[in-house]
Amino acid sequence: MNASTVIAQPLVAQLETYRPTLPESVAERQRAACARFLSRGFPVRRDEEWKYTPVQGIANRAFALPDAGEALPQTTPTELEWPHGETRQWRFVDGRLVAAPDAPPEGVFALPLAVALADPFWQERFAALATSEHSSFVDLNTALASGGLCLRITAPVATPLEIVWQVSAGVAGEGASIPLAVHPRLLVVVEAGASATLIEHAIGDAASSHFVNAVSEITLARNAQLTHYVVQELPAAVQQIATHAVAVDANACYRSFNIQLGGRLARHDFNVHLHAPEAVAELEGLYLVGARQHIDTHTRLFHEAAATTSRERYRLIGLERGRGVFKGKVRVAPGAAKSDAQQSVKSLLLHPGAEIDAKPELEIYTDDVTCSHGATVGQLDRDARFYLLSRGLSPQEADALLIFAFAEAVVEAVTLPALKTYLTERLVGRLPDRDILEEQL
């Protein structure tokens, strides 16, 4: 183990007496990931990729693993559990599947992770895209993952697919309570010519203080399309690390909406590889960072073939003493001529104690490309505010509408009406002067 890296003793004990949690078909990969994590440990502040996000609160704390042997009853989600409109929903509590559709839509094949890994198709794809290059949390997930879902989409699917990742208020241990560490894994394959909409929604009981370390591996074949919504509304004491690894083939399109509203510490990494001509990635994101919250997103877009396109737009709002971090990197590889990458990050600070660090990066190793990026951090637009005041609005009303409009730029792009309404309500509920907004909208 790295001498400078502290890992809570219960976790070290869990890993030193490690037994693979998934079928024997992937056990060797799990053992290797366990060994790498014990050697490398958690990221520290001198790691450039973790410079602004300390994880000592995770590394030094004792967490218990969910009891894999405890079976939970499975049910069919009711309509009351579909706030985003009609979807086909899989619901997990502390990483264990508790509800699934009676039948997935035509063209969708879904299996629990432990069941799917009996199939060579899924064995080949487990731990194939998500690597520990940027974070040892991926190895920790690979070693300890015991629950999750595998989705194979073979045709255009109209009904949105939804996965609810819920954390409970339950704790392990006798006497002093110990929160849980949950390591869910999601594998998605969208076959050639297929398309779908996928919603991942992270929620939990208010009293929960668990640690969630999630990894998703998503593959889009030729001419495939996936619209992927990630909505994070975890309780105030939960810490979440999530890694999304995406591979996009020729003429395929991956669209991502990353909405971060909850949690105490939330770090999301999106690593998107455009590895064939005409592949497209569009990333949109919005965070609201309030008191005692730390939200961090790192996006990495790799243009690895000619004529690939990426678009990225993020909006960050700092409230009270919240801390927001965004780092977006675009890398254009040698030979990836005629790549087109545009990145825009705008941040709004609404409190003297709020802090936002935004850092766009471009690495270009070929000629004949179109690439641009921009990042701003500031306060409300004075000219726009003056205009609204001249139209008879009070200063409080003008400020409320301008803040909402800043965030609405991302929500407006959501194409599912029910989800758009849900996100707008959540947004209004978190912004200052919500009474004014509810009256005006």
- Among positive and negative, which fits the CA dihedral 49, 52, 53, 59? positive
- Does position 35 have pLDDT exceeding 80, yes or no? yes
**Mean pLDDT of all residues in 64-88:** 65
Range name among 82-96, 199-213, 235-249, 257-271 with the lowest pLDDT average: 82-96
Residues 262 and 394 in one domain: no
At 129, is the secondary structure helix, strand, or coil?
coil
Q: Are residues 409 and 270 in the same domain?
A: no
| pLDDT value, residue 159 | 95
Q: Which residue has the higher pLDDT, 67 or 93?
A: 93
Segment 403-420 mean pLDDT: 92
70-84, 127-141, 349-363: range with lowest mean pLDDT: 70-84
**How many domains, in total, are found in the chain?**
2
Q: How far, in Å, CA of 135 to CA of 156, rounded?
A: 34
Q: Which residues contact 161 (CB under 8 A, 6 or more apart)?
A: 87, 88, 89, 90, 104, 105, 108, 151, 196, 197, 198, 199
Does residue 335 sit within a domain? no
CB 289 within 8 A of CB 319: yes
Percent of the chain with pLDDT over 70: 92
Query: Is 357 inside any structural domain?
Result: no
The pLDDT, as a whole number, for residue 271 is: 97
Name the one residue in this structure whose structure tokens are 């996006």.
Answer: 299
Is residue 229 situated within a structural domain?
Answer: yes
Q: Which two tokens stand for residue 308?
A: 């690939």
The answer, yes or no, to whether residue 60 has pLDDT greater than 90, is no
Highest mean predicted confidence (pLDDT) among 72-86, 94-108, 263-277: 263-277
Helices (H) and strands (E) in the chain, counts: 10, 20
Mean of all residue pLDDT scores within the chain: 90
Q: Could you tell me the pLDDT band of residue 430, with boundaries at 50, 70 and 90?
A: confident
Say if residue 58 is in the same domain as residue 182.
yes
In a domain, 431, yes or no: yes
- Higher pLDDT: 133 or 304? It is 304
Indicate the residue among 276, 304, 336 that finishes a domain: 276
pLDDT (average), residues 92-109: 93
* 380 CA to centre of own chain: 28
Q: Are residues 259 and 385 in the same domain?
A: no
Q: Which of 190, 212, 189, 217 is closest to 201 using CA atoms?
A: 212
Judge if 271 and 396 occupy the same domain. no
Same domain, 104 and 251: yes
Lowest mean pLDDT among 67-81, 113-127, 285-299: 67-81
Q: How far apart are CA 46 and CA 52, in angstroms?
A: 9
pLDDT of the residue at 3? 40
Q: How would you label 136-158 residue by residue, b for 16+ Cβ within 10 Å and e otherwise?
A: bbbbbbbbbbbbbbbbbbbeebe
Domain boundary among 276, 299, 326: 276
DSSP letter assigned to residue 156? B
Q: Are residues 266 and 394 in the same domain?
A: no
pLDDT for res 76: 61
- Give the closest residue to 214 by CA, choosing from 273, 159, 145: 145
pLDDT at 326 over 70: yes
Q: Which segments within 64-204 are labelled E, that is strand?
A: 88-93, 96-99, 108-112, 148-153, 161-167, 181-182, 185-190, 195-204
| Average pLDDT, integer, range 262-277 | 97
Average pLDDT estimate for 14-33:
82
328 falls within a domain:
no
Co-location of 35 and 171 in the same domain: yes
Residue that finishes a domain, picked among 244, 276, 308? 276
CA 291 to CA 321: how far, in whole Å? 5
For residues 17 and 99, the model is more confident at: 99
Q: For 268-284, what is the mean pLDDT?
A: 97
Name the residue range of residue 248's domain. 10-69+83-276
Residue with the bigger pLDDT between 104 and 175: it is: 104
Whether residue 312 is contained in a domain is answered as no
Note the pTM of the prediction, 2 decimals. Answer: 0.92
Helix ranges, 254-390 (H): 382-390
Question: Mean per-residue pLDDT for 370-382?
Answer: 89
Q: What is the mean pLDDT of residues 212-228?
A: 98
**pLDDT value at position 184?**
96
What length is written for the chain?
A: 441
Is 210 inside a domain boundary?
A: yes
Kind of pairing between the strands at 185-190 and 225-232: unpaired
For residue 363, tell me if it sits in a domain: no
Q: Provide the 8-state DSSP code for 119.
A: S
Q: Which pLDDT score, from 0 to 100, does residue 75 have? A: 63
